[in-house]
Every structure is written in C-alpha cells, then in structure tokens.
C-alpha cells in the first residue's frame, strides 16, 4: 500500500529524515516510536503532503502504486490518506458539521459519487460520534476552537470515522487523553480496522499499544528507522528507554 | 436639472448652484434653517472638497470622482418607464420590515410622503417632515452633522432637500424593523445628496436597516448624511448594507448622538462599490452609554473602501467597542482610521478598537490607523490592527481532509467574515447577509443581478437556500 524508499527530508536546510525505508501493507498496523524531535511528525507531514516546509531531497514514496509525491494534499486525502494531527488546528467560524460535510462531499465527488443526502450525512455523524463518545453539542461548535486537549484528539478520530481512510496516520493521538478516553479512542480505531486499510500510530506510550495491537513497532531515531520488531519491542523500549539503541546504531 | 461639467471645479460649480437656486433650496425653510444652510455653505467654501493633503484623506483619492460630469437635480428624478414597485420589491424570506424607499436620494411614496402611526411613530420624507413637523425638524436638523468634519458634510447640510425622516416618540418600542432602501438608478451620471434624520425619544427602541444599492452601471457621486439622535435610555440597532457598482462613489457620513444610558449597535456591511467612504461619528453625550461599532468589507478589483470611526467619550462610565474586518483581493484597497477621544471628565471609560484584514494578493493594500487620544486617567482602552494572509496551518488542515484549495480558502474567508455577520440580531437578515457574503466570496454576487435587499431586475429567481456543500 505504502512504500517509502531512502527518504531524505530537510527543513530550512537541516536534514531531519536521513534515509528512511518503510513498507506498509493493507491490513497492518505499524507503530512508530522514538525520542522527541527525531522526525516522527515530519514523516507524517510528508506523507500527508504538507507544503512549504519540507524539502524532499532524495528518495521516493509510492502509495497504491502511484507516486505520492506528485499528488497535492487534498488528492492524497481523497485517495484515502488521513493524518490525525499531533496538534489539531483551531478554525474559528467553521463548524465541524460544515467542515465534514464539505470534506465528505469533495471526496465523494473525486470518486464520482453523488453528494451525500442530508439524512445519510446525519446518520454518519451520529455513528461517528458514538464511536468516539463525543457529545452532540461539540459538533455544532467551530472546529477545535476552545476544545480541551482530549476533545481535540477525539475530534481527530471522529473525523477519521467520518472519512473512513485507507491509510490513517495517528500522530500522538493518545497524548492528552485520560485512560477512559484512551480506551474509547483505541476501540474506535480498532473498530475501523479492516483487511483493506492500514494504520500508522505514532506514540510515546506502550499503553496505547495494549489497545491497538501493532503488527510492527519501529524505532525512529535521528531521522532513520533503527530498529523494527513486534509489539514486544514497545515493552522493551518502555523498560529501557532509547539510550541502549544508540550503541546499536 | 443642472449639468455639472468636468471643465470647471466641482466645488466652484456647487457654490454657484447654491447661489442660483436659493428659491428651490430654501423653499420650506424657517429663517433659522436657512441661516444654518448659509453657514454650512460658508464652511464648504473654506474647506472645499477634501484632497490627499488632508491627513484624514491621505489614503482615499477622489480626484477622478470629482472630475467627472454629473447631473444635479432639485426635484425627484426617475428614468422614464421605470417600474418602481419592481425595483423596490424586497424578497428576503421571513424578513418583515416597514420599508421606505429612496430613488436617487428622493423619498418615494404614494401617500403624501409621510405617515404617522397610531403609536406616534413618524416615518416619511424629510422634505415633507420639514413642512409638517417644523419643530422636530428644526430642533434636530444639522445639529449633529458637524460642518467642520468635512466639505462633504458642510455641502450636504447646505443643499439637503430630501431623505428619510424617522421619529420614535418616548417610550415606544418599534416592533418591526424599518428598512431604508436607497437605490441609484439613472441613465446619466448623477450627483446625489440626501440627508436622513432619525430621532429616538427617551426609552424608545428601533431596529433600522439602511441599504445602499445601485441597479445599473452608471457613474454616480453620492453624498449621504444621516443624523441620529438617540435619547436617554433609548436603543438603536442599526445596519448599513452597501452593494454599489464599481463606478459609484459613496460618501456616507453617519452622526450618532447618544444621550445618557442609551445603547447603539451599528454594523456596516460593504459587499461592493467603486469608492466607499464611511464616516461614523459617535458622540456620547451622557453617562452609561454603550456603542458597538462593527463592520465587514469585501473588496476586489480596483475597489476602495475607507472606514473612519470617531468615538467621542465626553462623559464618564461609557463603553465603546469597535471591530472592523476586511478581505481585500486583487488590487483593491482598504483604509481604516479609528479615533477614540476620551475627554478629561470621561473617567471609567472602556474603549476598544480593532481592525483585522486579510490580504489575498500582493497588490491588495490596507492602511490601518487606530488612534487613541486620552485625557482621563482612570480608563481602559486598547487598540489593535492586523494585516495577514490566510493561515497556512489551517489551510493544510482543511486540505488534508480532502477539501480543495479554493473551498478551503472560502471556508476560512467566510469564517473570518462570519464573526461580524453573527452579530446581526435580525435573524432573517442575518441568514440573507450570510448567503450574500458566501456568494460574494465565490464571485457570484454582482450589482444589478442581486442587489442587497431587493432582487428586482433579475431574470432568474434567487435561491435562498444555503448550499453548505458549496462553501
Ligand atoms: N516547521 C518547522 N520549522 C523548523 N523546524 C522544524 C519544523 N518542524 C519540525 N522541525 C524540526 O524538525 C525536527 C523533527 O521534528 P518532529 O516534529 O518531526 O519531531 P517528532 O519526532 O515528531 O517529535 P515529538 O516526539 O516531540 O513530537 C525537530 O528538530 C524540529 O524542531
Ligand atoms: Mg511529533
């Protein structure tokens, strides 16, 4: 589904990602862990197509057989890529309902489908809300405006449930969530899991991986994946930290 | 009719026009009013029309507007065969207003030009009011519109012949909003000077919607003065909607005079216009006054919008708050000049002022000058101005959900403007303006086809449903 080969990314002339390889197939869940500032969010931003910051100096990314780097941000989303933001953006004046309706319809249009009916849309909203346990009144508010940290994260998963992506990248969706919210969010992600889609979870905490069980755990360190293992690697990292990896690099 | 040619200075021609037409201009005057007109003309002779050397006009250039040829009328003028009922039909669903119409600055009515309602409310033509209610007229006319503010105000005070007159007696709460629709529609270039007078008695209440529209593409110069007296503990909720053609020059001076405990909310929505200059003067003439002065402007092409706000805190314990927001596209230009004056006695004043702009191109410009002049020490005042582009991270966020660049921009621009639109307290009006702003941002709104509040010359029906999916 997604294949990254020898990716090099610089920000303001400073190399952040330094030769990264990653293969993801449909049905898989990959966890990416690693110390602060090693380029996890940068990788997520590059996959989502964020413009104006990243300089991709080398390497390639293919997604469903297409050259991903050729696609503008919105086409990547329409092709099924979803980024759950580490820091969701507040957009005063745009209601979540309006935001989601516009997004759903644009994606449908891209796929040659007719606009969603008001009834179907509302039904979808209700289902998505239930999935992540968010209250009705939240969706009448402006996108993320004045939301608590946890509400923002839940809102990301709500959007994911609305858009039903093929490849979801969840960038620290667990941070800021209390233990109950964490379970709800994790169950939501698990419920959306299928053989056709894949998930990348970026996290600092092994705890999340008890709920969203990964097939692979990667350690991103100074711009490279330095170790890949099964879910037990997360436990090892939790116990030992990252220092021991330095000697292995 | 008089023709003002472009070969001589317009100011000199206006002075001559005044002197040559004393009989027409003074015909309904008491000696007192005639004196006021003469004084106003003397001030105009001294000030002339403003030019760029004048600090307050540095960023608004009227040369072209003042050098064109215009027709000037001392009596109502309409194009032949015009269907007034059609032009002034207003079809905002669920908006019930008491509508009064002005065509080319002249009051239009079938019933004698003025109506006195059972509750004592008077609505009608200024010219008729001058004859039928001389006491009210003399007491207020020209009292608040200060000649010294600009040559335009002085000239209007000298020439004013018609406009709208509204009187709300003490203790009367007017239920239905009053809507003034001022349409400019002529087959020649035209110079219009109308003068509106609105008087609110003690403890009274009024919602007033003032619409300025063009329904053609003829050049015009409109010099409007509106004087508003807000009596003790009275409340005015005022809206000004502007949708003029690209060769219209509109000079719109509003003078609000607030007595103690009164409340004013005024909201100016500019959707289109060649050159629009709004001057808002608020005089707080007693304690505990409150004024909210809001505005939103959407300009593109070579349009020019200039909002001037002057709030005079003359008494203690008053509050004023200003917020103007604008989206400036293409080579358009926006000017904002806010001036808050807190006089020495005006302790415990709260005064806020803010102007926020989004520039969509490199060629668009904004000149924003908030200004505080404070002579009291126990006050809370603040001002701010921002000029920026659409937020990059917000654009990324929206696009990352599959929304196109154009629609993402639209959503952000609309959200920016909505902060002002959401203050509209007349719900059907809010829905309609909201719709118009969306149309405007999509480039689908134009004068003639879809004027602010009437939809007369259109062939196709307007669809009022807001298609959420399209914004
Ligand atoms: N917009 C930017 N401008 C400048 N530097 C940036 C920008 N975005 C990221 N960086 C830098 O790139 C490096 C990697 O940042 P990134 O956000 O990818 O780290 P991360 O692994 O997600 O860290 P964390 O665990 O703290 O979220 C950091 O040194 C950061 O300062
Ligand atoms: Mg990060």
Which residues of chain B neighbour A107 with C-beta distances below 8 Å? 402
- For residue B394, what is the enclosing H or E element? helix B392-399
Domains of chain B, by residue range, sit at 2-285, 390-471
Lowest pLDDT segment from A175-179, A233-237, B451-455 = B451-455
> Sorting pLDDT into bands at 50, 70 and 90, what band is A184?
confident
pLDDT at A74: 97
B214 versus B266: which is more confidently predicted?
Answer: B266
CA–CA separation, B282 and B210 (whole Å): 17
In degrees, rounded to 5, the angle at the alpha carbon of residue B287 between the alpha carbons of residues B285 and B290 is: 85
Q: Chain B residue with minimal CA distance to A52? A: B392
For residue A171, the cross-strand partners are A202
ipTM summary value: 0.96
Q: How far is CA A166 from CA A194, A207, B106, in A?
A: 9, 24, 65
Tell how far CA B126 is from the center of its chain: 18
CA–CA separation, B316 and B343 (whole Å): 9
Q: Is the pLDDT of residue B300 over 70?
A: yes
pLDDT at B468: 34
- For residue B440, what is the enclosing H or E element? helix B427-441
> Sorting pLDDT into bands at 50, 70 and 90, what band is B458?
very low
Lowest pLDDT segment from A17-31, A110-124, B173-187 = B173-187
pLDDT at B96: 76
Put simply, the answer to whether B397 touches A85 (Cβ < 8 Å) is yes
The residue behind tokens 């039904």 is A123
| Tokens read off for A94 | 């745009």
Ligand nearest to the CA of A54: 1
Q: How far is CA B107 from CA B123, B149, B399, in A?
A: 11, 26, 50
Residues of B engaging A, defined by a Cβ cutoff of 8 Å: 391-394, 396-405, 407-408, 411-412, 414-416, 418-419, 468-469, 471
Q: From the alpha carbon of A53, which atom of ligand 1 is closest?
A: 1
> Sorting pLDDT into bands at 50, 70 and 90, what band is B111?
low
CA–CA separation, B37 and B130 (whole Å): 14
Q: Chain A residue with minimal CA distance to B470? A: A102
B100 versus B419: which is more confidently predicted?
Answer: B419
| Tokens read off for A217 | 């755990």
Q: From the alpha carbon of A44, which atom of ligand 1 is closest?
A: 18
Predicted confidence (pLDDT) per residue in B39-58, tens digit: 999 999 999 999 989 989 99
Name the closest-CA residue to atom 18, ligand 1. A39
Q: What's the whole-number mean pLDDT along residues B387-410? A: 94
Q: Which domains does chain A have, with CATH numbers?
A: 2-89+149-157+165-248 (3.40.50.300)
State the smallest CA–CA distance between residue A80 and chain B in angstroms: 9
> Sorting pLDDT into bands at 50, 70 and 90, what band is B81?
low
Ligand 1 is surrounded, with C-beta below 6 A, by A 11-12, 16, 34, 36-42, 53, 86
Name the phi and psi angles at B43, rounded to 5: -65, -40
Contact at 8 Å (CB) between B309 and B277? no
Put simply, the answer to whether B399 touches A91 (Cβ < 8 Å) is no
CA–CA separation, B316 and B39 (whole Å): 32
DSSP classification of residue B46? H
Q: What's the whole-number mean pLDDT along residues A146-171? A: 93
State the smallest CA–CA distance between residue A223 and chain B in angstroms: 23
CA–CA separation, B8 and A242 (whole Å): 85
What average pLDDT is seen over chain B? 88
Q: Is the pLDDT of residue B455 over 70?
A: no
Put simply, the answer to whether B468 touches A102 (Cβ < 8 Å) is yes
Put simply, the answer to whether A163 touches B401 (Cβ < 8 Å) is yes
A249 versus A201: which is more confidently predicted?
Answer: A201
Put simply, the answer to whether A102 touches B403 (Cβ < 8 Å) is yes
pLDDT at B122: 95
Q: What's the whole-number mean pLDDT along residues A156-170? A: 95
State the smallest CA–CA distance between residue B457 and chain A in angstroms: 32
CA–CA separation, A137 and B266 (whole Å): 31
HSE-CB for B28 with a 13 A CA cutoff:
17
Closest by CA to B355, choosing from B306, B301, B284, B425, is B306
How far does residue A174's CA lie from ligand 2's centre (Å)?
A: 12
Name the closest-CA residue to atom 27, ligand 1. A36
List the single best residue of A52, A73, A163 to mutate versus B (max B Cβ within 10 A). A73
> Sorting pLDDT into bands at 50, 70 and 90, what band is B470?
very low
Q: In B273-314, which ranges are E strands?
A: 275-284, 290-299, 304-313
Q: What's the whole-number mean pLDDT along residues A196-216? A: 91
Q: What's the whole-number mean pLDDT along residues B278-290? A: 98
Contact at 8 Å (CB) between B178 and B170? no
- For residue B33, what is the enclosing H or E element? helix B31-47
How far does residue A171's CA lie from ligand 2's centre (Å)?
A: 7
| Tokens read off for B117 | 């309602």
Contact at 8 Å (CB) between A194 and A224? no
Q: Is the pLDDT of residue B82 over 70?
A: no
> Sorting pLDDT into bands at 50, 70 and 90, what band is B456?
very low
Predicted confidence (pLDDT) per residue in B215-230, tens digit: 777 889 999 999 999 9
pLDDT at B223: 96
pLDDT at A177: 85
pLDDT at A236: 85
Which residues of chain B neighbour A76 with C-beta distances below 8 Å? 400
Q: What is the 3-state secondary structure (H, E, C) of chain A?
A: CEEEEEEEEEECCEEEEEEEEEEECCCCEEEEECCCCCCHHHHHHHHHCCCCCEEEEEEEEEECCEEHHHCCHHHHHHCCEEEECCCCCCEEEEEHHHHHHHHHHHHHHHCCCCCCCHHHHHHHHHHHHHHHCCCHHHHHCEECCCCCHHHHHHHHHHHHHHHCCCEEEEECCCCCCCHHHHHHHHHHHHHHCCCCCEEEEECCCHHHHHHCCCCEEEEEECCEEEEEECHHHHHHHHHHCCHHHHHHC
CA–CA separation, A118 and A103 (whole Å): 14
Name the closest-CA residue to atom 7, ligand 1. A11
Ligand nearest to the CA of A35: 1
Closest by CA to B266, choosing from B152, B415, B420, is B420
* CB-nearest partner of B416 from A74, A93, A159: A93
pLDDT at B463: 31
CA–CA separation, A97 and A103 (whole Å): 10
Identify the sign of the CA torsion A204, A210, A212, A217. positive
What predicted TM-score, i.e. pTM, was given to this entire model? Answer: 0.84
Put simply, the answer to whether A73 touches B471 (Cβ < 8 Å) is no
Predicted confidence (pLDDT) per residue in B335-364, tens digit: 999 999 999 999 999 999 999 999 999 999
pLDDT at B3: 87
HSE-CB for B325 with a 13 A CA cutoff:
14
Percent over 70 (pLDDT), chain B? 90
Q: Is the pLDDT of residue B459 over 70?
A: no
Percent over 90 (pLDDT), chain B? 70
* CB-nearest partner of B399 from A73, A85, A143: A73
pLDDT at B245: 84
Q: Parallel, antiparallel, or unpaired: how do β-strands B220-230 and B248-258 relate? A: parallel
pLDDT at A36: 92
């Amino acid at each position: 589904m997604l294949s990254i080969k020898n990716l090099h990314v610089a920000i303001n002339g400073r190399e952040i990602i330094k030769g990264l390889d990653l293969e993801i197939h449909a049905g898989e869940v990959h966890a990416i862990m690693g110390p602060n500032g090693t380029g996890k969010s940068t990788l997520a931003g590059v996959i989502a197509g964020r413009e104006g910051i990243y300089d991709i100096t080398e390497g390639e990314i293919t997604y469903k057989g297409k050259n991903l780097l050729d696609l503008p941000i919105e086409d990547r989303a329409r092709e099924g890529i979803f980024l759950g933001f580490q820091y969701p953006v507040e957009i005063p004046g745009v209601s979540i309902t309006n935001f989601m309706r516009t997004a759903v319809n644009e994606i449908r249009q891209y796929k040659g489908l007719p606009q969603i009916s008001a009834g179907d849309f509302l039904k979808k909203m209700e289902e998505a809300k239930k999935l992540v346990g968010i209250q009705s009144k939240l969706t009448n508010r402006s996108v993320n405006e004045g939301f608590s940290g946890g509400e923002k994260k839940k809102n990301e998963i709500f959007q994911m449930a609305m858009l039903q992506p093929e490849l979801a990248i969840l960038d620290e969706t667990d941070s800021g969530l209390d233990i109950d919210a964490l379970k709800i969010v994790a169950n939501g992600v698990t419920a959306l899991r299928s053989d056709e889609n894949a998930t990348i979870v970026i996290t600092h905490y092994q705890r999340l991986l008890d709920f969203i069980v990964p097939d692979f755990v990667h350690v991103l360190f100074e711009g490279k994946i330095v170790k890949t293992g099964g879910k037990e690697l997360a436990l090892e990292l939790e116990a030992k930290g990252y220092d021991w990896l330095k000697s292995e690099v | 009719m008089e023709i003002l040619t472009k070969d001589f200075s317009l100011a000199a021609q206006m002075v001559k026009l005044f002197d040559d037409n004393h009989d027409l201009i003074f015909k309904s005057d008491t000696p007192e009013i005639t004196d006021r007109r003469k004084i106003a003309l003397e001030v105009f002779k001294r000030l002339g029309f403003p030019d760029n050397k004048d600090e307050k006009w540095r960023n608004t250039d009227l040369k072209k507007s003042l050098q064109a040829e215009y027709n000037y009328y001392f009596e109502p003028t309409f194009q032949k065969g015009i269907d007034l009922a059609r032009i002034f039909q207003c079809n905002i669903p669920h908006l019930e207003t008491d509508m009064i119409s002005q065509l080319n600055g002249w009051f239009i009515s079938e019933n004698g030009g003025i109506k006195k309602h059972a509750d004592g409310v008077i609505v009608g033509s200024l010219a008729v009011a001058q004859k039928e209610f001389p006491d009210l007229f003399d007491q207020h006319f020209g009292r608040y519109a200060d000649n010294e503010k600009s040559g335009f105000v002085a000239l209007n005070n000298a020439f004013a012949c018609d406009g709208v007159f509204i009187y709300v007696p003490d203790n009367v709460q007017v239920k239905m909003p009053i809507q003034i629709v001022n349409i400019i529609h002529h087959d020649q270039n035209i110079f219009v000077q109308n003068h509106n007078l609105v008087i609110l008695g003690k403890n009274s209440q009024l919602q007033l919607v003032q619409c300025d529209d063009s329904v053609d593409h003829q050049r015009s110069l409109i010099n409007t003065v509106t004087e508003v007296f807000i009596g003790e503990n009275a409340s005015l909720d005022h809206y000004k909607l502007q949708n003029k053609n690209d060769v219209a020059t509109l000079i719109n001076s509003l003078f609000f005079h607030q007595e103690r405990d009164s409340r004013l909310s005024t909201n100016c929505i500019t959707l289109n216009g060649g050159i629009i200059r709004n001057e808002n003067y608020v005089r707080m003439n007693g304690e505990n006054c409150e004024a909210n002065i809001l505005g939103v402007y959407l300009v593109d092409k070579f349009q020019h919008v200039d909002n001037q706000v002057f709030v005079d805190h003359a008494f203690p314990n008053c509050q004023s708050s200003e917020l103007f927001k604008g989206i400036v596209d293409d080579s358009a230009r926006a000017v904002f000049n806010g001036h808050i004056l807190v006089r020495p006695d005006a302790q415990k004043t709260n005064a806020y002022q803010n102007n926020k702009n989004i520039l969509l191109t490199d060629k668009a410009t904004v000149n924003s000058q908030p200004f505080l002049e404070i002579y009291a020490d126990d006050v809370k005042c603040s001002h701010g101005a921002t000029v920026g582009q659409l937020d990059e991270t917000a654009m990324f966020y929206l696009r990352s959900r599959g929304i196109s660049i154009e629609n993402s921009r639209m959503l952000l621009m609309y959200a920016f403007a909505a902060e002002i639109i959401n203050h509209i307290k007349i719900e059907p009006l809010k829905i309609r303006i909201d719709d118009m702003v969306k149309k405007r941002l999509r480039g689908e709104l134009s004068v003639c086809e879809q004027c602010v509040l009437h939809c007369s010359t259109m062939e196709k029906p307007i669809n009022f449903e807001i298609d959420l999916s399209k914004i």
